[in-house]
Amino acid sequence: MSTPIVPWMGGKHRLADRLIPLFPPHECYVEVFAGGAALYFMRPQAAPVAVLNDINGDLVTLYRVAQNHLEEFVRQFKWAHSSRQVFEWQKMSRPETLTYIQRAARFFYLQHHAFAAKVTGQTFGTATTGPAINLLRIEENLSAAWQRLSGTYVENLPWLECAERYDRPPYLPLHGSALLADSRIWGGLSVRKLRANGLFHASVQGQGDGEH
Protein backbone atom coordinates (compact mmCIF):
# COMPACT_ATOMS: atom_id res chain seq x y z
CA MET A 1 0.00 0.00 0.00
CA SER A 2 1.17 3.53 -0.77
CA THR A 3 -0.33 7.01 -0.66
CA PRO A 4 -1.52 9.29 -3.48
CA ILE A 5 1.27 11.14 -5.28
CA VAL A 6 -0.57 14.47 -5.25
CA PRO A 7 -3.50 15.89 -3.28
CA TRP A 8 -6.64 16.24 -5.38
CA MET A 9 -9.89 18.11 -4.86
CA GLY A 10 -12.58 15.51 -4.22
CA GLY A 11 -10.01 12.82 -3.44
CA LYS A 12 -11.11 9.68 -1.59
CA HIS A 13 -8.18 9.15 0.77
CA ARG A 14 -10.35 9.75 3.85
CA LEU A 15 -12.96 7.28 2.59
CA ALA A 16 -10.53 4.62 1.42
CA ASP A 17 -10.92 2.40 4.49
CA ARG A 18 -14.69 2.34 3.91
CA LEU A 19 -14.76 1.99 0.12
CA ILE A 20 -11.98 -0.52 -0.54
CA PRO A 21 -13.63 -3.36 1.47
CA LEU A 22 -16.67 -3.00 -0.81
CA PHE A 23 -14.70 -4.05 -3.89
CA PRO A 24 -15.71 -7.53 -5.13
CA PRO A 25 -13.08 -9.98 -6.43
CA HIS A 26 -11.74 -8.77 -9.76
CA GLU A 27 -8.85 -9.18 -12.16
CA CYS A 28 -8.86 -5.73 -13.77
CA TYR A 29 -9.15 -2.41 -11.90
CA VAL A 30 -9.91 0.68 -13.99
CA GLU A 31 -10.17 4.31 -12.90
CA VAL A 32 -11.56 6.32 -15.80
CA PHE A 33 -11.39 9.59 -13.81
CA ALA A 34 -8.20 8.88 -11.87
CA GLY A 35 -7.49 12.27 -10.29
CA GLY A 36 -5.38 11.61 -7.21
CA ALA A 37 -6.22 7.87 -7.49
CA ALA A 38 -6.40 7.43 -3.71
CA LEU A 39 -8.20 4.07 -3.86
CA TYR A 40 -5.71 2.74 -6.40
CA PHE A 41 -2.71 3.67 -4.27
CA MET A 42 -4.21 2.83 -0.86
CA ARG A 43 -5.68 -0.60 -1.57
CA PRO A 44 -3.68 -3.27 0.31
CA GLN A 45 -3.04 -5.45 -2.75
CA ALA A 46 -2.54 -4.35 -6.34
CA ALA A 47 -4.91 -5.79 -8.92
CA PRO A 48 -3.38 -8.17 -11.50
CA VAL A 49 -4.27 -5.60 -14.16
CA ALA A 50 -4.70 -1.89 -13.36
CA VAL A 51 -5.55 1.12 -15.50
CA LEU A 52 -5.31 4.80 -14.54
CA ASN A 53 -6.95 7.23 -16.94
CA ASP A 54 -7.47 10.97 -16.78
CA ILE A 55 -8.11 13.71 -19.32
CA ASN A 56 -5.67 16.03 -17.51
CA GLY A 57 -2.45 15.77 -19.53
CA ASP A 58 -0.21 17.16 -16.77
CA LEU A 59 -1.51 14.61 -14.28
CA VAL A 60 -0.97 11.77 -16.73
CA THR A 61 2.55 13.05 -17.44
CA LEU A 62 3.28 13.00 -13.71
CA TYR A 63 2.12 9.39 -13.35
CA ARG A 64 4.16 8.29 -16.36
CA VAL A 65 7.28 10.07 -15.13
CA ALA A 66 6.91 8.62 -11.63
CA GLN A 67 6.45 5.21 -13.23
CA ASN A 68 9.42 5.35 -15.60
CA HIS A 69 11.82 8.13 -14.56
CA LEU A 70 11.56 8.42 -10.77
CA GLU A 71 15.28 8.99 -10.15
CA GLU A 72 15.48 11.93 -12.55
CA PHE A 73 12.18 13.29 -11.25
CA VAL A 74 13.50 13.29 -7.67
CA ARG A 75 16.65 15.09 -8.85
CA GLN A 76 14.51 18.08 -9.85
CA PHE A 77 13.88 18.77 -6.16
CA LYS A 78 17.45 18.44 -4.86
CA TRP A 79 17.68 22.14 -3.97
CA ALA A 80 13.96 22.94 -3.87
CA HIS A 81 12.09 24.33 -0.89
CA SER A 82 8.52 25.30 -0.09
CA SER A 83 7.84 29.00 -0.45
CA ARG A 84 5.27 31.38 -1.83
CA GLN A 85 7.86 32.96 -4.15
CA VAL A 86 8.90 29.65 -5.72
CA PHE A 87 5.22 28.79 -6.10
CA GLU A 88 4.63 32.01 -8.06
CA TRP A 89 7.73 31.41 -10.18
CA GLN A 90 6.49 27.94 -11.06
CA LYS A 91 3.08 29.33 -11.98
CA MET A 92 4.68 31.86 -14.33
CA SER A 93 6.85 29.28 -16.09
CA ARG A 94 5.56 28.12 -19.47
CA PRO A 95 4.98 24.35 -19.51
CA GLU A 96 5.55 24.12 -23.26
CA THR A 97 9.17 25.23 -22.76
CA LEU A 98 9.90 22.47 -20.22
CA THR A 99 11.03 18.90 -20.68
CA TYR A 100 8.69 16.01 -19.97
CA ILE A 101 10.25 15.51 -16.52
CA GLN A 102 10.45 19.22 -15.67
CA ARG A 103 6.79 19.60 -16.53
CA ALA A 104 5.88 16.74 -14.19
CA ALA A 105 7.98 18.30 -11.41
CA ARG A 106 6.30 21.68 -11.90
CA PHE A 107 2.84 20.12 -11.71
CA PHE A 108 3.83 18.15 -8.60
CA TYR A 109 5.16 21.27 -6.84
CA LEU A 110 2.14 23.41 -7.66
CA GLN A 111 -0.38 20.75 -6.71
CA HIS A 112 1.25 20.13 -3.34
CA HIS A 113 1.34 23.84 -2.50
CA ALA A 114 -1.99 24.99 -3.95
CA PHE A 115 -4.80 25.97 -1.62
CA ALA A 116 -7.44 23.20 -1.42
CA ALA A 117 -5.52 21.17 -4.03
CA LYS A 118 -7.07 23.22 -6.81
CA VAL A 119 -5.85 22.54 -10.34
CA THR A 120 -6.94 25.87 -11.85
CA GLY A 121 -6.91 29.34 -10.30
CA GLN A 122 -4.23 28.20 -7.88
CA THR A 123 -3.12 30.27 -4.89
CA PHE A 124 -0.45 29.40 -2.35
CA GLY A 125 -1.96 27.38 0.47
CA THR A 126 -1.10 27.57 4.14
CA ALA A 127 -2.29 25.42 7.03
CA THR A 128 -1.94 25.26 10.80
CA THR A 129 -2.77 21.56 11.07
CA GLY A 130 0.36 20.09 9.54
CA PRO A 131 3.75 20.87 8.01
CA ALA A 132 4.37 21.63 4.36
CA ILE A 133 5.60 18.81 2.16
CA ASN A 134 9.20 17.82 2.88
CA LEU A 135 10.79 18.01 -0.56
CA LEU A 136 13.95 16.32 0.73
CA ARG A 137 12.03 13.09 1.31
CA ILE A 138 10.34 12.81 -2.07
CA GLU A 139 12.20 9.66 -3.10
CA GLU A 140 11.34 7.95 0.17
CA ASN A 141 7.70 9.00 -0.09
CA LEU A 142 7.32 7.98 -3.74
CA SER A 143 9.12 4.63 -3.68
CA ALA A 144 5.96 2.71 -2.74
CA ALA A 145 3.97 4.61 -5.37
CA TRP A 146 6.60 3.70 -7.97
CA GLN A 147 6.20 0.03 -7.10
CA ARG A 148 2.41 0.27 -7.34
CA LEU A 149 2.61 2.03 -10.72
CA SER A 150 4.87 -0.66 -12.14
CA GLY A 151 2.95 -2.49 -14.84
CA THR A 152 -0.05 -0.17 -14.66
CA TYR A 153 -1.55 1.13 -17.90
CA VAL A 154 -1.62 4.94 -17.73
CA GLU A 155 -4.04 6.42 -20.26
CA ASN A 156 -4.99 9.95 -21.36
CA LEU A 157 -8.37 9.22 -22.96
CA PRO A 158 -11.95 10.50 -22.78
CA TRP A 159 -13.61 8.55 -19.96
CA LEU A 160 -16.06 6.64 -22.15
CA GLU A 161 -13.37 5.57 -24.61
CA CYS A 162 -11.27 4.24 -21.74
CA ALA A 163 -14.24 2.47 -20.16
CA GLU A 164 -15.24 0.80 -23.41
CA ARG A 165 -11.65 -0.21 -24.16
CA TYR A 166 -11.19 -2.10 -20.90
CA ASP A 167 -14.76 -3.32 -20.30
CA ARG A 168 -14.66 -6.53 -22.31
CA PRO A 169 -15.68 -10.17 -21.89
CA PRO A 170 -12.28 -11.88 -21.43
CA TYR A 171 -12.29 -10.83 -17.78
CA LEU A 172 -15.66 -12.41 -17.05
CA PRO A 173 -14.58 -16.05 -16.55
CA LEU A 174 -11.96 -15.06 -14.00
CA HIS A 175 -13.51 -13.13 -11.13
CA GLY A 176 -16.61 -11.41 -12.44
CA SER A 177 -14.79 -9.14 -14.91
CA ALA A 178 -13.44 -5.64 -14.62
CA LEU A 179 -13.98 -3.15 -11.83
CA LEU A 180 -14.57 0.43 -12.89
CA ALA A 181 -14.01 2.53 -9.80
CA ASP A 182 -14.32 6.16 -8.73
CA SER A 183 -16.04 7.29 -11.90
CA ARG A 184 -17.93 10.39 -10.65
CA ILE A 185 -20.57 10.34 -13.34
CA TRP A 186 -23.89 12.16 -12.96
CA GLY A 187 -26.40 14.36 -14.76
CA GLY A 188 -26.92 13.61 -18.43
CA LEU A 189 -23.96 11.24 -18.81
CA SER A 190 -25.35 7.81 -19.57
CA VAL A 191 -23.63 4.60 -18.54
CA ARG A 192 -25.87 2.60 -20.86
CA LYS A 193 -23.21 2.80 -23.57
CA LEU A 194 -21.05 0.52 -21.48
CA ARG A 195 -21.48 -3.21 -21.82
CA ALA A 196 -21.37 -3.21 -18.00
CA ASN A 197 -19.66 -6.57 -17.63
CA GLY A 198 -18.38 -5.62 -14.20
CA LEU A 199 -19.07 -3.35 -11.25
CA PHE A 200 -19.44 0.31 -12.06
CA HIS A 201 -18.87 2.50 -9.00
CA ALA A 202 -19.86 6.16 -9.26
CA SER A 203 -19.14 8.53 -6.39
CA VAL A 204 -20.64 12.00 -6.37
CA GLN A 205 -19.23 14.87 -4.29
CA GLY A 206 -17.12 12.53 -2.20
CA GLN A 207 -19.94 10.11 -1.36
CA GLY A 208 -19.51 6.39 -1.97
CA ASP A 209 -22.89 5.76 -3.63
CA GLY A 210 -22.40 2.91 -6.05
CA GLU A 211 -24.48 1.45 -8.84
CA HIS A 212 -24.16 -2.17 -9.91
Query: If you compute the radius of gyration of the chain from its CA atoms, what whole number of angstroms results?
Result: 18
| Confidence class for position 14, pLDDT limits 50, 70, 90 | confident
Residue range of the domain that includes 170:
16-186+195-200
CA distance 71 to 157: 27
DSSP run (H or E) holding 50: strand 49-53
Per-residue pLDDT reduced to its tens digit, 66-78: 999 999 999 999 8
Per-residue confidence (pLDDT) for residue 154, from 0 to 100: 98
Separation between Cα atoms, residue 64 and residue 51, nearest integer Å: 12
Domain of 102, CATH number, reads 1.10.1020.10
Number of domains present in the structure of the chain = 1
Kindly tell me if the per-residue pLDDT of 171 is higher than 70.
Answer: no
Model confidence pLDDT, tens digit, residues 36-50: 999 999 999 999 999
pLDDT for 110 equals: 93
Does 21 reside within a domain? Answer: yes
Predicted confidence at residue 202, as pLDDT, reads: 58
Does some domain include residue 125?
Answer: yes
Interval 92-114 mean pLDDT = 94
DSSP state of 77: T
Residue 208 lies in a domain: no
In a domain, 212, yes or no: no
pLDDT in tens, 136-168: 788 888 999 999 999 999 999 998 898 888 876
